[in-house]
Amino acid sequence: MAADLGRAVLFGSIPVAAAFGVLGLPQLYVVLALSGVLSVLFDVAHSSYPPRLLTPDQLLPGNARLAANHSVGAVVGAGAGGVLIQWLSAATTIGLNALGFLWSALWLRSIRTPETRPPAPEHRDLRREITEGLRYVFRHPLLRPLVLTSATTMLFQAANSAVIVVFLVREIHLSPAAIGVLNMIGLLGAIAASAFTERLSRWIGDARAQLVAAIGLGIAFLIQPLTNPGWSLSWYVGSTLLAAICIIVGYILQVSTRQRVCPPELQGRVSATMSFVSWGALPIGSLLGGALGTAFGLRPTLWIAGVATLLGTSWLIFSPYRTLRSIPIPVDIRTTR
């Protein structure tokens, strides 16, 4: 709630400054930097909170519903953002975004489940807490391959993203509007994935489903360089749809796995550790994609990113996920709420 209220104030300051004619880039830099910090805090708390509300068996369907809401919001936001900017101006649209954070805080305030405040440690040692999170993740036989696969995927997904729009404009000759429509198809795939992830998990098991999603994502990026003008544009449509489905399925199952196997007292730091390792690869991947695109060209960069993403699934293939069907639930977590 505090993160929501803080972001509402930050984004709400933009239309106010614009109304008084004092809006400038320094304010935008500060708003983006501080809201980024608050978003990280919100995301860590958001993904650590469901185990306090749900039993282990309810986590996967709960995360699937949350992902479905997120996907619907992404589709609506992608379609409405440009229209609102044309109607109301960019500053006013950002002001509406601030109201969205207030709306979120009000819904969070409506949760009536009591939450026990954790005991404050006698001596807070941030370095020790970070080390505990890293040690737990990289020593755990199920979390380690997950985080390494996620980091590899994020790295080369960012490399792909650094050149794909330029590729579509320069070599496929698509307009910005056409690119936007094609990308919305992927978001619709994300909505569909949110709906059938639970069913897929029951059918083949959540461990196997994570392995299938990782391999499917690698295949999606691998076929993307086959895109060409005309009917060959279907390669891009198919790859975008498959990638969106696999990303959402993998995300839902990965979060559910972490929430199931992690002790309650370590949920926050383990979530932060996995987010840091995975998302920390994004800026490196963006630089890598730009460098590869400059050195070898756009289509070869897409091939490199696709092959590397598919090879990155080796972290899961050569791990317990290869033989597991379902994620085991530790005995001491089975009865927690």
**Residue 203 backbone dihedrals phi, psi, to 5 degrees:** -75, -50
Evaluate whether 216 touches 242 at the Cβ level (below 8 Å): yes
Angle at 32 between CA 29 and CA 35, to 5 degrees: 140
> Residue 110's CB: how many other CB atoms inside 10 A?
6
> Residue 127's CB: how many other CB atoms inside 10 A?
7
The span from the first CA to the last CA of the chain, in angstroms, equals: 21
**Residue 327 backbone dihedrals phi, psi, to 5 degrees:** -80, 125
How far apart CA 312 and CA 155 sit, in angstroms, is 10
What does the block give as tokens for 7? Answer: 């972001």
Which parts of 154-258 are beta strand (E)?
none
- Digit-by-digit pLDDT tens for the chain (337 residues) are 999 999 999 999 999 998 888 989 899 999 988 998 898 889 888 888 888 888 877 887 887 777 777 766 766 665 566 566 667 777 888 888 899 999 999 999 998 888 777 666 666 677 888 888 889 999 999 999 999 999 999 999 999 999 998 999 999 998 877 887 787 777 777 778 877 888 888 899 989 999 999 999 999 999 999 999 989 999 999 998 999 899 889 988 988 888 888 888 788 888 888 888 888 898 899 999 999 999 999 999 999 999 999 999 999 999 999 888 888 766 444 444 4
CA nearest neighbour of 285 among 164, 162, 179 = 162
CA dihedral 308, 313, 319, 320 (to 10 degrees): 180
Helix (H, G, I), strand (E, B) or coil at 337: coil
> Residue 138's CB: how many other CB atoms inside 10 A?
13
Helix (H, G, I), strand (E, B) or coil at 83: helix
How far apart CA 264 and CA 134 sit, in angstroms, is 16
Evaluate whether 109 touches 1 at the Cβ level (below 8 Å): yes
> Residue 293's CB: how many other CB atoms inside 10 A?
21
